[in-house]
Structure 1
């Protein structure tokens, strides 16, 4: 590959803000293959590489590494799903008010915000692999604090620490998976991140219906320990190693991920050229985001983030069991219904994501979220006016299930924000 051409192309776009750097980078890597044919040996290497990279069967090391990474996604899901099945027992055992438990439920998002803010810096300086292990120290400490809690303050501290941990994981895991996977497998592998979040949340709902809240917190430590103990056995991101100037380690990591007999010549050169082009770009400032040429993309990206946070899904997920009980439904029926709907719908979303596109799924998610909120609100409105009481539990159940059915396209917001940037 002609690295000089890449550097020139990247320098011409160096004034672009960091948020929109992805477009410049992807354009800078395009080249005319007719100019790059230097010898028969070069052509032979490219053919071998092309045939090996097009294989749809992932190497064992790549599969194992991705599995270790998505344990972090599972931890994310368990943290989100913990408050719903444990609310009643925690309030009774620790004599908490509704306001105190509401703080316990919502403080997770404050911790996640803190973790997300520092996640990029930690991942860049320590590496993706160590960042995942570091995040699990927060999660384990938080779950232990919840397990031994004697009052509300221990719960708050534990929930905040878990939030910091999952805030780190929310950035590091998808980035790490995207950086270690080949292009032809990247979409499916990154979608597993969302699927494991769903599995963690759903299984926590289910297990929480049968075990004490302290035991459920101990169970939450298990996937944290699995990832923490497995991290030393997986390779670091080849792209991060190349970015840090550790080129030999980058090549070794790439070879390990692609398999002992795989030809990684072309991909290794692409990573090096990409890194060189990236280093030529100047750092952008946040004021540059508000230039007229980026206004549409910025509006779409921020709009998706706002809709994601204010769409009501977090309130439904955190307090689903309480909603069911208030609507007159059995807690166990609601939990089983949620698990029966959420995992299959998320799995379906994984397969539809690349076939139907992001935009149709997001539109479907928006409509479904509105419908779910409307049905849940209508259920409680009918209870307040004492009309159609026999219908209100059904409306609440359908409303919550419709909201949860939209949760996978809803989580595509993050991915689409990255793409439009």
Structure 2
């Protein structure tokens, strides 16, 4: 039998759905507003900014791991004598480790807290980078890559969740999108410095942000929503006050968190099978669908093998990867700034349109090259990759992770987040491992045409199913999901 909930949806004066607890005798409902009488907590404080920066160092590590394989490819193959198939295994085994980390990420983050989960993951990243740097054979290279993958698999879930749980609603989109900005920065730094140094030194440099995050975690507060879930109300309020500032009035936000958390306590403990209950169907479809479409668009084919793509198109790999850096960082920053102004849906639509066009142009350049009817096809390949990179950085790179961190209720967030993250990494592995073979089996132009079609399908999916979460608290988003499920 489906457990009963004591939650219902009301409308405020602005017709925004709010979640309320209908039990008037609930002792946790009346949070002492007199404990703080300052202004509303809707601005960025020093503690909030610092906490977000420390957490997104994990995203930077994610980016360095993804960006490492492209500039290191020729050096590793030459020095260790790897075949193309062996290097494809090395490049893609990161995602196998990440899938394992993603499977465990929700449980680890829910059991030990968001901060400890980040620290735990960085230990594996450190070991992984050290093993890669010291590798003399393919097996140690793969073990190190797998270990780093396991670490970033956990980070890819816990970082956006932690940021979403500590930020006020009017800043949450931009702050969570910094996750993608730092991934982009990590990739860009590896692309840039990888052109000028050995792959071993490049791997050693990858340990630096791991150490910085491990140190910084000692100085940031735990997620107040995670503390509330464990019934640690006093620590929840203390953490929230630190994040919002000493003079901020946290009473309303604390009341919403406590109301919602207490309501969820009436539900039975969630199992994996429970995720497929109809009441979570919309959230699960959106979360999984966005991750699948993000990967089928070909991002990791371009990220992992950018140098090889440019070389096969006849364009300079060094110039091409540096051009990608010039494009992706500003576009990611632009997407971050627009996140809480334009909303999630418009950015996703523009981004998917651009990735569709970019893959089409790249595929067209390879077709023209094969037909030998236009000598400037390498330039078209560069334009296509840059259009794809800029468009992906604007929205499709970060927004699926933002939405994933927003749409699941706290009682299933760990399991659901793990499932969604596993799906993302599974898609990443499929694309990163099969790309080199696909270009041989169905040609490069055929491969990029498939990526272009997937981006076109993303437009339809976003328009029909993805909710706008801009400007809503996490509790309000859950209320709107309840309304959607009832209507459908």
Does the CA-based 8 Å contact 2:228-2:257 persist in structure 1?
A: yes
- Is residue 2:350 matched to residue 1:355? no
Q: Give the CA deviation at 1:106.
A: 1.0
Provide the C-alpha distance between the structure 2 equivalents of 1:338 and 1:166, rounded to a whole number of angstroms.
23
Matched length: 390
Does the CA-based 8 Å contact 2:163-2:176 persist in structure 1?
A: yes
Q: Give the CA deviation at 1:237.
A: 1.3
Please point out which of 4, 12, 29 is paired with 2:20: 29
Please point out which of 256, 264, 270 is paired with 1:270: 256
Could you say which residue in structure 1 is the equivalent of 2:359?
373
Summarize the alignment of residues 97-116 of structure 1 with structure 2, pairs less than 5 Å apart.
97-116=83-102
Change (3 A) 1:62 1:357: closer
Q: Give the CA deviation at 1:283.
A: 3.9
Q: Give the CA deviation at 1:82.
A: 0.7
Does the CA-based 8 Å contact 1:338-1:401 persist in structure 2?
A: yes
Does the CA-based 8 Å contact 2:7-2:21 persist in structure 1?
A: no
Change (3 A) 1:281 1:362: same
Q: Give the CA deviation at 1:117.
A: 1.1
Does the CA-based 8 Å contact 2:4-2:266 persist in structure 1?
A: no
Summarize the alignment of residues 14-413 of structure 1 with structure 2, pairs less than 5 Å apart.
27-29=18-20, 48-49=37-38, 51-54=39-42, 56=43, 58-284=44-270, 299-388=285-374, 390-408=375-393, 409-411=395-397, 412-413=399-400
Q: Give the CA deviation at 1:261.
A: 3.4
Provide the C-alpha distance between the structure 2 equivalents of 1:9 and 1:262, rounded to a whole number of angstroms.
36
Does the CA-based 8 Å contact 1:9-1:28 persist in structure 2?
A: no
Provide the C-alpha distance between the structure 1 equivalents of 2:48 and 2:314, rounded to a whole number of angstroms.
48
Could you say which residue in structure 2 is the equivalent of 1:415?
402
TM-score normalised by structure 2 residue count: 0.74
Does the CA-based 8 Å contact 2:21-2:259 persist in structure 1?
A: no
Q: Give the CA deviation at 1:257.
A: 2.1
Q: Give the CA deviation at 1:222.
A: 0.2
Provide the C-alpha distance between the structure 1 equivalents of 2:68 and 2:84, rounded to a whole number of angstroms.
16
Q: Give the CA deviation at 1:301.
A: 4.2
Does the CA-based 8 Å contact 1:71-1:224 persist in structure 2?
A: yes
Change (3 A) 1:244 1:342: same
Secondary structure of the equivalent of 1:406? helix
Q: Give the CA deviation at 1:28.
A: 2.2
Provide the C-alpha distance between the structure 2 equivalents of 1:225 and 1:42, rounded to a whole number of angstroms.
40
Could you say which residue in structure 2 is the equivalent of 1:34?
none
Secondary structure of the equivalent of 2:197? coil
Q: Give the CA deviation at 1:317.
A: 0.7
Q: Give the CA deviation at 1:132.
A: 0.5
Q: Give the CA deviation at 1:159.
A: 0.9
Change (3 A) 1:359 1:323: same
TM-score normalised by structure 1 residue count: 0.85
Further displaced range: 329-338 or 118-127: 329-338
